[in-house]
Structure 1
Amino acid sequence: MAITTEFILSSPVLPLVSITERLPPNEIECTHALCLQSDVRMFIVQIDPDDDVAEAELVALDEIEETTVLGETSEKVVYKLTVDIDESVSAAFDPERIDGAPVEPTTITPEGWHERKVFTDFEAFTEFRESCEDNGISFDLLSMTPDPSQADEVSQDGLTDRQREALTLAISRGYYESPRQVTTEALAEEMGISQPSLSGLLRRAERRVLTASLDTRVTLNTLS
């Protein structure tokens, strides 16, 4: 079941925090596509015109390579910034591992990034959190809300349709035989996805099935 989460990411390597640390605004909004393309370097940033930030001041920051003013709304000045991305950030937001997407613009303050993201399930969220922490980005969860509208897409054992498809294909092709009859690369090609995505689907499906099975056994043992 999809879940919506709200959290704060903190790290000195996070892009654009330097704007709020070194220039007048103590808060800016930006949109990015890091979860869709890990090496993306373009950020759309909105800054309050009352903060009186000059384009030259943005370009002068070490991490910003290019600045373009896109225009003004009634409340914000909108910039397109090309940013130098640290490798750890690209690794943390690797789209091959992350089944998640933002639901509103990121709010950036001197403390870090305040984000709201929707994830396909709890395992996808956990993988993103672990990916951040493994790459030196601290993760402070503020809230987590399940999406009841998708309850019908999840079976009693907790598998999503896509997880069940991957698990069924793996079983039918002999992936769990000894020795294995097929590789994850071949399974991924058959499903039309990348090998890391296929591995992630199988890993989450296996965890779901094992968790459901163990919970059932615990219940039966308690009743007996």
Structure 2
Amino acid sequence: MNITTELVLRSPSLPLVSITETLQPDEVDCVHALCLHSDVRTFTVQFDLDDDVSEAELSALDEVTEATLLGETSDRTIYQLTVELEDSVSEAFTTEHIDSTQLRSATISKNRWHETKLFKDYKAFNDFRASCEDNGISLDLVSITSNPSLSDDSSQEGVTERQREALSLALSRGYYESPRQVTAEELAAELGISQPALSSLLRRGERQLLTDSLETRDRLNAVSR
């Protein structure tokens, strides 16, 4: 059961966050292989041409040991950077904890990475989150979804297993009662996710159930005519 997560990592020890503190860009697009090899030192970064970032400026950063201009597109400048990793980063990204992820680009801004990662299952994600927290890197989960093309966790109503889990918990805890018997923050804590991630799960699950219900009613009405 593969799952796709959108997450935000926060720590001053994360590679290349110094770029947005020292140089002009507010954000940097970066491709890295930390999810595949925890001791990777090479990062490919892309800047808008308007950012006017030079090879010399990148080489001058404390964590960068080598900067190489790879080329330019119509609107981007692309560099390859070799960096010195903090020990906490190598420990957090050890492949023991992230057994299977898909390589995706990260958006780097001040003290944070915004990433989308594909994990083989919920345990792999939870192991990665625990590894980050153990090494001083906070992880905020924005969204988490299962991949229906790679797993069978979708119900007949089109609701994923994770959405159904969130909806069932919310219903059993009185979230839909008036007045509510539990808060979204409390439900999120039980599921081990952030409040925005819980709200997203509930919202998408509710929308899917309503869509399926309305489509079923329309089909029945058409047959009865």
TM-score (norm 1): 0.66
Equivalence for 1:110: 110
Counterpart contact for 2:24–2:53, Cα < 8 Å? yes
Match of 1:73 in 2: 73
* Structure 1 residue runs without a partner (length 5+): 154-224
2:33 touches 2:103 (CA, 8 Å); kept in 1?
A: no
Aligned twin of 1:83: 83
Tell me the number of residue pairs that the alignment of Structure 1 and Structure 2 aligns: 154
Equivalent-residue separation in structure 1 for 2:40 and 2:128 (angstroms): 18
Q: Which residue of 1 aligns with 2:188?
A: none
Shift of 1:86: 0.5
Once the two structures are TM-superposed, the CA of residue 103 in structure 1 deviates from its matched residue by 5.1
What TM-score does the superposition give when structure 2 sets the normalisation length? 0.66
Alpha-carbon separation, structure 2, partners of 1:132 and 1:66: 27
- Specify every segment of 5 or more residues in structure 2 that has no aligned partner in the other structure, as ranges: 154-225
**How far apart in 2 are the matches of 1:26 and 1:100?**
30
Is the CA contact 1:37–1:95 (under 8 Å) kept in the aligned structure 2?
yes
The answer (yes or no) to whether the contact 1:38–1:93 under 8 Å persists in 2 is yes
What's the CA shift for 1:20?
A: 0.7
Amino acid in structure 1 at the alignment position of 2:57 = E
- Evaluate the alpha carbon distance shift between residue 103 and residue 35 of structure 1 in structure 2; reply closer, same or farther with a 3 A threshold: closer
Identity %: 59
When residues 111 and 13 of structure 1 are mapped into structure 2, their CA distance, relative to the original with a 3 A threshold, is: closer
Deviation at 1:74, TM superposition (A): 1.8
Q: Which runs of 4+ in 1 moved over 6 A?
A: none
Which stretch shifts more, 98-107 or 52-61?
98-107
CA distance in 2, matches of 1:103, 1:146: 17
> Which structure 2 residues correspond to residues 21-100 of structure 1 after superposition, within 5 A?
21-100=21-100
Matches within 5 A, 1:1-224: 1-102=1-102, 104-152=104-152
SS at match of 1:57: helix
- Pairwise CA RMSD: 1.6
SS in 2 for 1:85: coil
Checking the alignment, whether the CA contact within 8 Å between 2:45 and 2:79 is kept in structure 1 is: yes
CA distance in 2 between counterparts of 1:100 and 1:115 reads 15
Shift in Å, 1:47 = 0.7
